[in-house]
Structure 1
């Protein structure tokens, strides 16, 4: 499963790059609007800091305007994936862009039918909002499993990208469902590496045992310098 980051936090992006985990970075209008730089500068920075893809969302709701924005974004870099809301004229826009060879990501997904339609249109990625789906009282895990089964049954190329992942458990829901990608905010990404009291206690026992034997404590093979 690919890991994408849904953040402008550069240290977090660098960390994922160093580990070789990062497939790309996603943005949305809220993220770009919260930045202290113009959108063009932010996007250039995100392209420079990591070698993967960069997902950028159109802000128009009418198809013709979406297409104009998408083409300008695609012309900026071949690594940009254009995010389009999976509603109304957005489906028409994604179909046209995919025919032009511009990769798209269907966003603002709350139902399996949106993913099924994205699959029929050959959309590259489809991003259900997991945390918001759960907040709406729906079963996000069931949606992932159902949608993945539909895409596999018909051999469609669309990759489900779990989005709005707010916990390690939701990340594991993505893994259990066998979907192709998940995009994580910086806080959720850091949760994946966090310790627990049980882990801390086990490591402390190892440390105490090691220091309790003069032969191991003085071993040159395990010197810290």
Structure 2
């Protein structure tokens, strides 16, 4: 499983990228707005860090999204993945890019149903991003939806090898459940990534070992 960070905090991304466990970064307009920074400035810093795969979201009409997608690809090159909305226009653009600009990776976001995932995959999306946490908020089992989507993609063997990027992940349990289900990629906030290192049992065992080491080393 690959791990992406869902973050626009470039300083924290830089620190965590040093672990060699981070494979990409996803961003969205909400995270960018909260940062108070310009999107291109964030993307440039992530590119300078060496992030190989950065999801950059486009919004607006078909023509506006197409123009922005081409601009972003031209400016940021191979690290650029165009993040598209799950909508009729978003999928029209996804299909067009798959057909006419095969060098542009696409990530269809705000996926909440298997039907949406099927349509996005049929349009040649490289990635699709179902939102686990937001489904849970609506009393819909997000992990079960992701399992269904993953199984469907494997069963249909759809063109281009569309991969699931499980998103809206709020805890380590969800990461592990995705791994068990065979989901190839998760995108997580930095806090969730850091929590993957942690266990109270590990802390207790290390404290015991430190105490034992101190006893015989003095």
TM-score (norm 1): 0.89
In 2, are the aligned partners of 1:56 and 1:81 still within 8 Å (CA)?
yes
In 2, are the aligned partners of 1:9 and 1:186 still within 8 Å (CA)?
no
Q: Determine the structure 2 residue equivalent to 1:63.
A: 62
Alpha-carbon shift at residue 14 of structure 1 (Å)? 2.2
Structure 1 segments, 4+ long, off by >6 Å, are: none
Q: Please state if 1:33 is matched with 2:33.
A: yes
Deviations, residues 1-52 of structure 1 (Å, cap 9, x unaligned): 1111111223432233222111111110111222233222121111111231
Larger CA deviation: 151-160 vs 29-38: 29-38
Q: Determine the structure 2 residue equivalent to 1:223.
A: none
In 2, are the aligned partners of 1:53 and 1:80 still within 8 Å (CA)?
yes
Alpha-carbon shift at residue 134 of structure 1 (Å)? 0.8
Q: Which has the larger radius of gyration?
A: 1
Alpha-carbon shift at residue 82 of structure 1 (Å)? 0.5
Gaps of 5+ in 1: 219-225
Alpha-carbon shift at residue 195 of structure 1 (Å)? 3.6
Q: Determine the structure 1 residue equivalent to 2:211.
A: 208
In structure 2, what is the Cα distance between the partners aligned to 1:187 and 1:25? 14
Q: Determine the structure 2 residue equivalent to 1:221.
A: none
What secondary structure sits across from 2:136 in the alignment? helix
1:189 pairs, out of 190, 193, 201, with: 193
Q: Determine the structure 2 residue equivalent to 1:154.
A: 156
Q: Determine the structure 1 residue equivalent to 2:130.
A: 128
Q: Determine the structure 2 residue equivalent to 1:96.
A: 96
RMSD across aligned positions (CA): 1.5
Size of the alignment, in residue pairs? 213
TM-score (norm 2): 0.91
In 2, are the aligned partners of 1:58 and 1:70 still within 8 Å (CA)?
yes
Alpha-carbon shift at residue 199 of structure 1 (Å)? 2.0
1:163 pairs, out of 133, 153, 167, with: 167
Deviations, residues 152-211 of structure 1 (Å, cap 9, x unaligned): 112230010011111111111211111110111122122112242x22222222222233
Alpha-carbon shift at residue 97 of structure 1 (Å)? 1.2
In structure 1, what is the Cα distance between the partners aligned to 2:208 and 2:199? 15
What secondary structure sits across from 1:212 in the alignment? helix
Alpha-carbon shift at residue 67 of structure 1 (Å)? 1.2
Alpha-carbon shift at residue 77 of structure 1 (Å)? 1.6
Alpha-carbon shift at residue 105 of structure 1 (Å)? 0.2
In 2, are the aligned partners of 1:22 and 1:52 still within 8 Å (CA)?
no
In structure 2, what is the Cα distance between the partners aligned to 1:145 and 1:74? 32
